[in-house]
Copies of this chain bind each other. A is one copy, B any other.
Amino acid sequence: MKPTLRAVAEAVGVSRSTVSNAYGRPDQLSPQLRQRILDTARQMGYPGPDPTARSLRRGFVGAIGVLFTSRLSYAFTDPFAVRFLTGVAEAAERHESSLLLVPLPGEPAGARKAVENAAVDGFCVYCAGDEEGILDTIRGRGLPFVTTSARPREGDRWVGIDERAAARSVAEHLTGLGHRRVALLGHDVLPDAPTGPLRVTDVADVPHPTTRDRLAGFADAFAAAGIRWPELTVLTAPDNTRVAGAAAVRKLPAGVEPPTAVLACSDVLALGALEVLRGAGQDPRPVSVTGFDDIAEAAPAGLTTVRQSGEDKGRSAAALLLDPPPDATTRQILLPTTLVVRTSSGPVPRS
């Protein structure tokens, strides 16, 4: 059995408080005594105050929870999520806080339990799906949190971008190039929908909030160009991964007039699409492809996309949690986006 603080106190012949102070507040005792305590502690093999006991008493843990509303191990396959995490880690490092990555099981009850059992001082919720249940559980615990949710509640801390306007900007880039027959590509467009083309009667039906907002932004641009929502082809992918993007594009109906452009809701989907559309044996007429996020792989692939900084998002989120601005008005941070035009998009080829 490991010795405890009490054992050290008895060995040295002082009170427990004094030993505690030797570790936590050196100014509360004489340097000599402190040294004597530390020495015998070391010699007894006492590893210092137990973190759990300390947390209980102090009411403070020194860790922030990071929640991905998707499987945790999947999260790492999404480069943008990794950048976000990098930003969070950077801010946490500065605050000497640890990060608790909590895996959320699929079923809501399990997810609830996981959130309730996490020993943290607050949460950064990276929203990649439905999250209201999660947020309510956090609220129930009375812990502070920051979301990147598509539509934050009044007063909630939030960091994000104007998804819809950003999406609109890429789409306008394409309508400007003359594209009229396009396919939109997102993941989780409709619940349980198989990979492939869909008729979505209303954008509002899309359950995944980010996908919904981006599709809506695309639609805005096309509406301005005289193309209404029901005329747009929507492709859906089961995951936000390259292979899923590739698979979705392969399901484009052969024979009928193919789209002249594919607008993806993320770079990984777009890169998957590019692979297929630029791959060997394809129709030589190039199809324009655009992405979203501007991950590292986008530039070498020449992908036209919308840039947003995952690091900034993560950093801001963690900062909002770790030292929140006193006035509630500055607790929602809108980050900028930029349209980055590369070679993957071009004018409609003449037929």
A72-B93, A89-B101 known, 12 other contacts, Cβ within 8 Å: A47-B116, A54-B117, A71-B93, A73-B89, A75-B89, A76-B89, A82-B82, A93-B103, A98-B114, A99-B101, A100-B100, A100-B101
A108 at the interface (CB under 8 A from B): no
- A73 contacts which chain B residues (CB < 8 A)? 86-87, 89-90, 93
Q: Does A303 contact B (CB under 8 A)?
A: no
With a cutoff of 8 Å between Cβ atoms, the chain B residues found around residue A92 in the complex are 72, 103
Of A55-63, A168-176, A218-226, A325-333, the one touching chain B: A55-63
A142 touches B47 (CB 8 A): yes
Chain A 47-89 interface mask (CB, 8 Å, partner B; 1/0): 1101111111000011100000001110111000011011101
Q: Does A341 contact B (CB under 8 A)?
A: no
* Residue pair A53, B56 in contact (C-beta under 8 Å): yes
Q: Which residues does A use to contact B, with CB under 8 Å?
A: 2, 45, 47-48, 50-56, 61-63, 71-73, 75-77, 82-83, 85-87, 89-90, 92-93, 96-103, 105, 114, 116-119, 137, 140-142, 297
Q: Please, which residues of chain B bring their CB within 8 A of the CB of A87?
A: 73
Pick the contact of A103 from B85, B89, B101 — CB < 8 Å?
B89
Give A50 to B77 CA distance when docked, in angstroms.
Answer: 33
User: If A56-B53, A92-B103, A93-B103 touch, does A119 touch B76 (CB 8 Å cutoff)?
Assistant: no
| Chain B nearest Cβ from A337, distance in angstroms | 22
User: In the complex, are the beta carbons of A51 and B117 less than 8 A apart?
Assistant: yes
Q: Are A82 and B71 in contact (CB under 8 A)?
A: no
- A45 CA / B142 CA spacing, docked (Å): 10
Of B47, B48, B54, B77, the residue contacting A86 (CB under 8 A) is: B77
C-alpha gap A62/B45 in the complex (Å): 24
Interface centre among A61, A72, A118 (most CB of B within 10 A): A72
* Cα A31 to Cα B45 with chains together (Å): 47
**Contact between B142 and A61 (Cβ–Cβ < 8 Å)?**
no
- Within the complex, which residue of B90, B100, B142 is in contact with A2, where a contact is CB–CB below 8 Å? B142
Contact (Cβ within 8 A) A117 B62 = yes
CA distance A2 to B48 in the complex (A): 30
| 14 sample A-B contacts, Cβ–Cβ < 8 Å, listed by A number | A2-B141, A52-B52, A52-B56, A53-B56, A56-B56, A63-B100, A71-B93, A72-B93, A73-B86, A76-B86, A77-B86, A82-B82, A98-B102, A99-B101
